[in-house]
Structures are given as C-alpha cells and as structure tokens.
Amino acid sequence: MIAEIGHAALIIAFAIAIVQAIVPMIGAQKGWSNWMYLAVPAAIIQFILVLISFSALTYAFVVSDFSLQLVAANSHSDKPMLYKITGVWANHEGSLLLWNLILVLFGAMVAMFGKNLPPALKARVLSVQAMIGIAFLAFLLFTSNPFIRLPNPPFNGTGLNPLLQDPGLAFHPPFLYLGYVGLSMAFSFAIAALIEGRVDAAWARWVRPWTLMAWMFLTLGIALGSWWAYYELGWGGWWFWDPVENSSFMPWLLATALLHSAIVVEKRNTLKAWTVLLAILAFSFSLIGTFLVRSGVLTSVHAFANDPQRGMFVLGILAVAIGGGLTLYAMRASTLKSNAVFSSLSRESGLVLNNLLLSVSAAVVFVGTMWPLLTELVLDRKISVGAPFFDAAFTPFMVVIAMVLPIGSILSWKRAKIRKSMQPLWGMMALSVALGAFVWSQNTGGRMLAPIGITLAAWVVLGAMAELGSRAKIFKVTARETLRRLRNLPRSDWGKAVAHSGFGLLIFGISAITAWEVEDIRSVEMGTPYYVDGYEFTLNSVGEFEGPNYVAIRGEITVVKNGETFNLYPEKRNFNVEGTPTTEAAINSTLARDVYIVLGDPQSDGRWAVRTYIKPFVAWIWIGIIVTSFGGLISLTDRRYRVAAPSKKVTRVAAVPAE
Amino acid sequence: MKKIILLLMILATPLFAVLPDEILDDPVLEERAREISKQLRCLVCRSENIDESNSGFARDLRLMLRERLVAGDTDEQVIDFFVDRFGEYVLLKPRFSGTNIFLWVSGPLFLLFGGGYAIAFVRGKTRETQVEALTDDEQKRLNALLGD
C-alpha cells in the first residue's frame, strides 16, 4: 500500500509540475501577479509529494519489502541498516528518484527563501525549474518506475554490490546530485534572464549563492568518490580519468568558471552574456554526465543500442535543454551588452583568463571522453583514451592556472598597476622558488615533478596569504590595526583566500604522491620481517574473520619505524549473498604519509603475496579539497549572499569598499 | 587452516594486480615494464590498465610484456607488438596519427581560438576606454565651455 502511495504522489507531482511550468510563465509575460504567485505553493507541494514518494521507497528498503522488484533486485534482509537505506539510491531507479527529490528541493527553496526576488523573475525561474522537473519525473515514471510490484515476491533479495556497501560510496551520490542538480538553479536563472532580456548585478547576486552551493556539494561529492577509490580499489590510486569520473569533472570545471565569471557580472556588470552561456553549459554538462553514466553508452556503443529506451529519453532531455537553451541564447544574448570598461591589466582580465583556462580544460576533458565514442560511431575504429592522454593534455592547463592565480587574484578592478599589485607577491614568489629549489636539492631521483609541483603549491598558498595581508595593510599599520582589518574583511574575501589555499594544498598532495610514492610487491614469509622505505613489516598471522554479512581472511602485520609500532589488518572479504570478493586495504594515515597494505593470495610455498605502499602526504589531496569547499562555505555566509535570501538592505550593503 | 583454504576456494577470483612471481629480477627492466603496462588497456575490464587490473587476462599481458623486454625489445617494439595483436584499442594514449591528430591538437586549438576571442573581448573593453576618455584638447574645450 505504501509503495502505491509513493507512486501516486509521483504522478500528482508530475501533474503539478506541468501546471507550474505553464501558468507562472504566462503570468510573468502578461504581468498577472496571481498567476505568477501560483509557482510558490506549486513548488512547495511538489517537493512534499516527491518527499513522500522517496520516503515510501526508503520504507520499502528498510522493511525489506521484496514484493517490490527494485528492493528484491538490490537489497537483502541481512544487510546492515545503513546500507539498506543507502541502497535506495544505489540503483538506477532509486538514484533517479533522489535526483528528482533534490531538484524539487531546490525549487522549494527558491519558493520559500526567494522572497526578495522580483516576482516576474521568480515566476520564470520556478517555471523553468518545473520544466526540468517534468522531464525527469517523466523519465522516472515512464522508463524507470521504482514502484513496480512482483507477482511472486521472492523469499529474500539478491543483495547489493559489495563495492557499494561502503560509507564513502554510500554518500557519494547524494553529494554529487546536490551538485549536479544544484546547477539546474543557475540554468533556470539563466533562461529566465534570457526571456526577460536582463542580466544585472542583482541577478548575479541571486545566482551566485546557488552556484556556490552546488559547486561545494559537487566538490565534496567528487572528493568522496576519489577517496573511496583510494581505499577500496586496492592500489591506492585517487583519480583514474575514467569516463564516469570525467562526467562529474566537466560540470565541476564549468561551475568553477561560472562562480568566477558571476563575480565580474556582480561587481562590474560586464561579461554578462558569457556568464549566462556558462550557466547553460554547466547544467548541460551535468545532463551529459547523466546521459553518459545512465545510458550504458560508455560500456559500449552497442550496449546502448540494445536497450535504447532510457538512453533515448535522456538524449531527448539533453537535446531540448541544451538545444533550447542555446537557441534562446543565440536569439537574446545580444540584448545583454554592457558598456563597462576595464584595462587589459585588471581583475576583470584576470578572471577572463581564469574562465578561458577552465573552459578550455573542460573542453579537453570532453573531447577526450567522447573521442572513443565518436571514432567508433563515425569511423568504426575502436580506440581508447585513458589516463596517459589526460595527464599530458589536461595537466598543463592546471599548471598555468596555478602560475597566474595569485597575480590575477590580487589585481585591482578596472585598472591595475603591475608594480603596485605585484609588490606583496615578490617575497612569496621568491620563497616558493626557494622551497622548490630546496626540494630539488634533496630529490635524488632528479625528476622535476616534485620541485615544480611544490613551488606552485607554495606559490598559490602563500599568494593567498599575501593578498589577505596586503588587504589588511600588514606591516604598514600596527599589528592591532592589521588584526582589526583582517576581522572586518568581507567573508567572501576570506572564502576566496581559503578556497585558493585549498587548491594549493591539493597541488602539494598530488605532486608529493606522484613523485615520491614507494611501492613494494613481494611474497612474505610468516614471521620474517621485510623492509620498505625504512619501515619494518612483519606478517604475524592470517586468520578468519566474520563480519555482519561477509566472511574475511584477515592478516595481521606489525609495522615498526623509529621505535613506533602499530598493527595493520588488511582483509579479503567475501560477501555471503552476493558472492563477490573485495579487498580491504589496511591504511595507517598521518599528515606526513599513509602506510597502505593489501593482502594477496597465498603462494605455493606457503608465503603470502603482500603489496605495501608508502604514500607521502597523500592525505593532503583530500584536505586540500575539503579546505577548498570550506572556502566556498565561508563565502556563502557572506552577508551579501545569505543563501537565496538577499535582504532588502542588499542594495545599500553593496557599497562595500571596492576590492 | 582448512577453513582458510575453503574460504580461498570461494574467493576464486584473484584480487591482486602485479603478483610477486611476475616481477623481473632486473630492477631497471621491471621499472620499464611497469611504465609500459600503465599505458596498455586491459581489454576485458572497463577502462583499467593492465598494471592495475586483477584479471587473468591482464596478468597474461603483463607476462607477455616482460618476456618481450627480457628478449631485448625496446619500449616502442613492445608497444608495437601489442598493437599488432590487439589493435590500437589496447593503447590508453592514442598515437599522434590519422584522425587522432584532431584529438591531440584539440586542446591547443581551443586555447588558440578561445584566447583570440578573449583578447579581442578585453581589447574591445579597453578601446571603449579610449573612445570615452577625452583628449587634453577636448578637456580644455569642455572646461572652456563649462566655464562660460
């Protein structure tokens, strides 16, 4: 019964979305305020209905209602409760329902908190949001209904892929979707602005917090996925340039560009058409990502052809959203001209360069991801494009970004003087190069990767510090005055410095792990110590271990270095129901290094295959990403942007000193 | 121990990429083998290289690769050896030839066009400054007019 309620709620939500797409839009065109106002209750009710539907499906998973096809195919009564719940979105239908839930959640948030939006803009935004809702609710209802009953329910379910029974991956999709779908807000605002033919500072101020929020979640979602791959897949890689990863990385790159270009619109009322285009593209790439992942086209072009219904549906949504968005853009972009002026050496130009590098790098990832599909479809030629290509074709852009970031970021608006702007940076530049030189002198291998990477990392972090320092007139006024100035800097300035520093820390982590990782593969005799990179390892025992829904073989390895001792327990698990094995690497993690051990199979002579890694500073990859998104959070709390609720005072508050 | 052996039989799939018995005695040769195997795709997996893959197929390829190296092949010869047998699909880094040239030059091309457009945009913005700013002469005339 509960499942039927969930299904019915979805159908009603679909009907309401149709009304919400049409009525407020007409109202906005004609200036009928009660037609426009309809969008608000419609968006809220739509959210409540989809929430009911989502709760119904969650309930079915929690009580293991195997009369539902989806539950029977993806769950099992012995599964721990956490994974019963996360199992809701660990499958196609459920994850699509989650996608819809987040979509209507964002709509409801605009409806409830967007009290100060001009009524016509708000009506149009919610109408566009409802159009996206129609498409995805239809996708769910007509091709991927999660509430299908089985005529003969099985006694128990077939379980959930063991790789997904893991905290990192359990929460990876919700974060990623909050990011993907959050970008739909930027899209809706862009379309609404094109219909109105008006983009101004106020528009940018409303769009930015949504984009910032989406970007934060997307960042964390990608980080969770990368972290999961690191500890679960058994060789400690953290990024593979897999097409699925690329699908989330392209919207991230464009969302990052959008965040920056929206600043220019807000502060300087220029770059408007480009910002609108980026908003359309960022969400389009979320849709492309969804298409690539959901249609099966990645596994093989032919897999897609075998079961084309779902793929065709997303392709249809893609065509309408991207085609419609870009057509509207082509028709209306010329109305978005601005007459702002700035010199070629200015913050504006710096941000144009930022946008150029980010969008070109996104294009490179796009071409690399699509190339194998393209050559197979057009030339019938099967080729692969993998990590070695992306390492070579993508990394240079990031190197250049890191080089110019501190400079572009410190330039003043309109017209900057190079000597004055660079003044606080020279010292930091010298310090970074000195640090790189020191690393180079210590580096016996002679590879340039570590020295260059660490110079760049230091330059980005120190540059961000120098900028804060110069804003606070450090050394020019008393220490007390500097502190007072630092305290009074807008939160967005702090957010910027923190986010940029996080990027620097990420570069540090990546360079260190790439340059200095030590790997050791050997067969180990029980009780006989072996040595890797100054650590002593002893395999004490290998025994059996029973988990809640798996049995494992578990090794005990004692690690000693400089009198410090700890034990690691690498496992090989076999999940009872699903029958598939997984490795559980044992990791001892500190800020300076991870010791990472994987247990292999016993060898014929009674030894055990063991892989041991010393991964220097690898934790800084994730620390960097978390710091970066934390910078976003700080910016979000800037009083100018209080999420979606720019207060009426905003126009007056806007007289914050120009940067 | 019997239980463990039983468990191992359940764990039929080996979950280990490079196995200790594969490793060559010559560390230089082994290092080359690892570098090459990171560029070759495991054909039965989904976008994994043979260095990371746990599949039996990848193991066969790794052994084959090391045989070639021990026989004295250069890196290029080894890679050609695999391309001859499995097609260019095996290469994770497509060759700079034929239609793949477009793939390789796409980044620089985008940068060129995008950069050209960006420069034109920024220069347009600065030129407006020049148009709008008054020359000294004009300023004098304006002052004179306003002074009147």
Annotated domain spans of chain A: 1-151, 162-337+346-385, 394-517, 518-619
Q: List the CATH code of the domain at A162-337+346-385.
A: 1.20.120
Distance (Å) from the alpha carbon of A629 to chain B's nearest alpha carbon: 28
DSSP string, A462-492: HHHHHHHHHHTTTTTS-HHHHHHHHHHS-HH
The pLDDT value given to residue A259: 94
SS3 assignment, position A36: helix
Over chain B (148 residues), what is each successive 10-residue block's mean pLDDT?
Answer: 52 62 85 90 83 85 91 92 91 89 94 93 74 67 71
**Angstrom distance (rounded) from CA B62 to CA B50:** 7
Residue of B116, B105, B19, B121 lying closest to A367 (CA atoms): B105
Chain A residue nearest residue B42, CA to CA: A384
Residues of A in contact with B58 (CB under 8 A): none
Token digits of residue A512: 């260190």
- Helix then strand then coil, in percent of chain A rounded to 5, is 65, 10, 25
- In this structure, the dihedral spanned by the alpha carbons of residues A106, A109, A111 and A115, taken in order and rounded to 10 degrees, is -140
Residues whose CB falls within 8 Å of the CB of residue A458, separated by 6 or more in sequence, listed in order: A428, A431, A432, A435, A436, A504, A508
What is the DSSP-derived secondary structure letter of residue A235? S
The pLDDT value given to residue A21: 95
The identity of residue B115, as a single letter, is G
The answer to whether B92 contacts A389, with C-beta atoms less than 8 Å apart, is: yes
**Angstrom distance (rounded) from CA A529 to CA A539:** 7
pLDDT confidence bin for A658, thresholds 50/70/90: very low
Residues of A in contact with B116 (CB under 8 A): none
Please indicate if any CB of chain A lies within 8 Å of the CB of B28. Answer: no
Cβ atoms of A410 and A425 closer than 8 Å = yes
Calculate mean pLDDT across residues A236-243: 87
Distance (Å) from the alpha carbon of B148 to chain A's nearest alpha carbon: 31
Residues whose CB falls within 8 Å of the CB of residue A214, separated by 6 or more in sequence, listed in order: A178, A179, A180, A181, A182, A183, A185, A186, A255
pLDDT confidence bin for A421, thresholds 50/70/90: confident
| b/e sequence A321-356, b meaning 16+ C-beta within 10 Å | bbeebeebbeebbeebeeebbbbebbbbbbbbbbbb
The pLDDT value given to residue B4: 55
Whether residue A653 has pLDDT greater than 50: no
pLDDT in tens, B87-117: 888 999 999 888 899 999 999 999 999 999 9
Please indicate if any CB of chain A lies within 8 Å of the CB of B53. Answer: no
Residues of A in contact with B20 (CB under 8 A): 521-523, 600, 603, 609
Cβ atoms of A573 and A586 closer than 8 Å = no
Residues in chain B: 148
Calculate mean pLDDT across residues A290-309: 68
Chain B residue nearest residue A241, CA to CA: B47
Whether residue A238 has pLDDT greater than 70: yes
Distance of CA A363 to the CA centre of its chain: 17
Whether residue A642 has pLDDT greater than 70: no
Calculate the average pLDDT of chain A.
88
Question: Which of these ranges, A225-229, A616-620, B18-22, has the smallest mean pLDDT?
Answer: B18-22
Residues of A in contact with B8 (CB under 8 A): 553, 601-602
Whether residue A369 has pLDDT greater than 80: yes
The pLDDT value given to residue A545: 87
Whether residue A646 has pLDDT greater than 50: no
Evaluate whether ipTM surpasses 0.90. no
Extended strands (E) in A307-448:
none
Q: Which residues, listed in sequence order, are joined to residue A520 by a DSSP beta bridge?
A: A612
The pLDDT value given to residue B131: 52
The answer to whether A356 contacts B125, with C-beta atoms less than 8 Å apart, is: no
pLDDT in tens, A435-484: 999 988 887 665 788 899 999 999 999 999 999 988 888 888 888 888 89
**What are the Cα distances from residue A120, in Å, to A124, A125, A647?**
6, 9, 18
Annotated domain spans of chain B: 2-90, 100-147
**Angstrom distance (rounded) from CA A301 to CA A290:** 16
Whether residue A7 has pLDDT greater than 50: yes
Q: By percentage, how much of chain A surpasses pLDDT 70?
A: 95
Residues of A in contact with B14 (CB under 8 A): 600-601
Residues whose CB falls within 8 Å of the CB of residue A462, separated by 6 or more in sequence, listed in order: A406, A428, A431, A432
Q: Which residues, listed in sequence order, are joined to residue A538 by a DSSP beta bridge?
A: A558
Q: Which residue has the higher pLDDT, A269 or A123?
A: A123
The answer to whether A609 contacts B38, with C-beta atoms less than 8 Å apart, is: no
**Angstrom distance (rounded) from CA B7 to CA B28:** 37
**Angstrom distance (rounded) from CA A570 to CA A608:** 12
Residues of A in contact with B105 (CB under 8 A): none
Phi (first) and psi of residue A314, to 5 degrees? -65, -40
Cβ atoms of A150 and A67 closer than 8 Å = yes
Calculate mean pLDDT across residues A300-327: 79
Nearest to B126 among A237, A343, A367 (CB): A343
Phi (first) and psi of residue A270, to 5 degrees? -135, 175
Q: List the CATH code of the domain at B2-90.
A: 1.10.8.640
Cβ atoms of A14 and A134 closer than 8 Å = yes
Cβ atoms of A272 and A194 closer than 8 Å = no
* Count of other CB atoms within 10 angstroms of residue A115: 13
The answer to whether B19 contacts A521, with C-beta atoms less than 8 Å apart, is: yes
Whether residue A339 has pLDDT greater than 90: no
Cβ atoms of A317 and A287 closer than 8 Å = yes
Cβ atoms of A87 and A59 closer than 8 Å = no
DSSP string, A355-379: HHHHHHHHHHHHHHHHHHHHIIIII
Nearest to B88 among A363, A383, A388 (CB): A383
The pLDDT value given to residue A505: 97
Instruction: List alpha helices for A114-171, DSSP H.
Output: 119-143, 167-170
Chain A residue nearest residue B94, CA to CA: A385
